[in-house]
Amino acid sequence: MSEQKNKKPKAVILGGSIAGISCAHALILAGWDIVVLEKSNSPPKGSLTGAGIGIDPLGQQIIQSWLPRPELLQEATLPLKIDQNIVTGGDKTTRVLTRDENFNFRAAHWADLHSLLYDGLPPEIFLWGHLYLSFCISEDQTSVNVEAKSLQTNEIIEINGDLLIAADGCLSSVRRTFLPRVKLRYSGYCAWRGVLDFSGKENSEAIIGIKREYPELGNCLYFHLGSGTHSVLYELPKKKLNWIWYVHQPEPEVKGNSVTMKVSSDMINNMYQEAEKVWLPQLVQVMKETKEPFLNIIYDCDPLEQICWDKVVLVGDAAHPTTPHGLRSTNMSIADAAVLGKCLQKWGVENLPYALEEYLRVRVPVITKQVLHSRKMGRIKQGLPLPDCEPFDLHTASPEDCEELQQKNMPFFSGVPFWAE
């Protein structure tokens, strides 16, 4: 009996992306055993998977608490101390709309942050190359059984645990099990994205030109607004530039389970031609020199009122698909993991329903406001109508109107609660 009592509780985490490995860190600290199921065959170490992300001060603090040496995060990121919104006039001169010099985010490449977090975990907790199939709760409600298939051998395996953590992204199959009627909402626009590696080309015409037009790269998050569109530009570590360009278009038809669209050379060339009509030549040149730009379809979801059921909990984009304008996706995922870990540690596995209830009461008010604010920011910057005001007009906007563009208006920007009141 005492052996059973002293046995560590066990969580099965579905998804080995940043949300999943953040949960692994938080739950290991809370005294749990972990198994991470991930369909990818191996960790994306050293690859150019994904693109740039901005980590907020709370996210930095949480990540540093998980690392063997906190300074590793500083070494893998660059500062984003300035949040600046600019516009270029017909005479090609740039005007600053807003500038916040107390931003204090850090810029990271997705793959670098993933590697940093992954390297701090025991490799044996990961089951790479395993496709999640289903789960069921035991008849006595004491455990959850997860079924998965090895993509290499086709072997079906079963894993029994005390909790299933669904970190399986914005198209979450676990969420669909509980909330089959919940649909993603297309924003009305897509995002061309790319990362230009300019190592060894620091003195090239493209890099000299882009740094002349955006002189605070390496320290600044640039939002460049146009008529009915906007772009984002910031520097990443290891001599890389991250750029995004949001373009209005009908919702694309996508085959498979993805929000990233495969693009043809014709689509890319057309994108270059359209960019030349809107952006500074220096930014267009960066786009042209970027290998394999890709197209993200921008979705979010109306906020969920419920993100946990008995032995199952949603985290990350599974719990709150969001548009990227508030730099929330990764930061919300990290906070989800930290709060879940604290709640499980506080209540213990014997009081799991109370732990999940507190996680829900802490996180739902935060993620609800942040998802809706990010949606609003996207519509403002894209010049789209809002329910309560006219579309943002670059030419007539007052200084007060421009203040709406700043990241610091995000609800809970200065920090999020860890405990329910």
- Whether residue 203 contacts residue 52, with contact meaning beta carbons closer than 8 Å, is answered with no
* pLDDT mean across residues, the chain: 93
Is pLDDT at 3 greater than 80 in this prediction? no
Judgement on whether residues 198 and 295 belong to the same structural domain of the protein: yes
398 within a domain of the structure (yes/no): no
In a domain, 392, yes or no: no
* pLDDT range class, residue 115, cuts 50, 70, 90: very high
Instruction: Provide the pLDDT for residue 50.
Output: 66
Assess whether 28 and 175 both reside in one domain.
Answer: yes
Same domain, 77 and 148: no
Residues 30, 168 within the same domain: yes
Give the integer Cα–Cα distance in Å for 98 and 82.
10
In a domain, 404, yes or no: no
Residues 257 and 162 in one domain: no
pTM of the predicted structure, to 2 decimals: 0.95
Domain count, the chain: 2
Residues 157, 261, single domain; the answer is: no
In this predicted structure, what is the pLDDT of residue 256?
65
Give the residue numbers spanning the domain of 234.
73-109+185-300
Q: Is 5 inside any structural domain?
A: no
User: Which band of pLDDT confidence, cut at 50, 70 and 90, is reported for residue 2?
Assistant: very low
pLDDT digits (tens, 9 = 90+) for 214-235: 999 999 999 999 999 999 999 9
Assess whether 126 and 259 both reside in one domain. Answer: no
- Angle subtended at Cα 62 by Cα 59 and Cα 65, rounded to the nearest 5 degrees: 150
Cα(74)–Cα(239) distance, integer angstroms: 15
Is residue 49 predicted with pLDDT exceeding 60?
no
pLDDT surpasses 70 at 140 = yes
Burial state string for 49-69 with b = 16 or more CB within 10 A and e = fewer than 16:
ebbbbbbbebbbebbeebbee
Instruction: Note whether residue 406 is domain-resident.
Output: no
What CATH number should be reported for the domain holding residue 37?
A: 3.50.50.60
- Percent of the chain predicted with pLDDT > 90: 84
Q: Are residues 125 and 225 in the same domain?
A: no
Alpha helices by DSSP H, listed for 237-351, are 265-278, 281-289, 329-347
- Strands 240-248, 229-236: pairing is antiparallel
Amino acid at 21: I
Query: Residue 51 domain-assigned?
Result: no
User: Is the domain of 263 the same as that of 312?
Assistant: no
Band of pLDDT at residue 149, cut at 50, 70 and 90? very high
pLDDT at 90 over 90: no
Residue-wise pLDDT for 296-345, tens only, equals 999 999 999 999 999 999 999 999 999 999 999 999 999 999 999 999 99
pLDDT band at 407 (very low <50, low <70, confident <90, very high): very high
Same domain for 194 and 270, yes or no, is yes
Q: Are residues 379 and 327 in the same domain?
A: yes
Question: Shortest CA distance to 229 belongs to which of 263, 278, 267?
Answer: 278
**390 within some domain:** no
pLDDT digits (tens, 9 = 90+) for 193-202: 999 999 999 9
Q: Say what the pLDDT of residue 353 is.
A: 95
The pair of structure tokens assigned to 206 is 């493209």
CATH number assigned to the domain comprising residue 268: 3.30.9.60
| pLDDT attached to residue 1 | 38
Q: Which residues of 366-394 are buried (b: 16+ CB within 10 A; e: fewer)?
A: bbbebbbbbbbbbbbbbbbeeeeeeebeb
Task: Please check whether residue 420 lies inside any domain of the structure.
Answer: no
Query: Model confidence over 162-208: pLDDT tens digits?
Result: 999 999 999 999 999 999 999 999 999 999 999 999 999 999 999 99
Which of 233, 268, 300 terminates a domain? The answer is 300
267, 340: one domain: no
Domain boundary among 240, 267, 300: 300
Q: What is the share, in percent, of the chain residues with pLDDT greater than 70?
A: 96
* Residue finishing a domain among 249, 273, 300: 300
* DSSP conformation class of 359: H
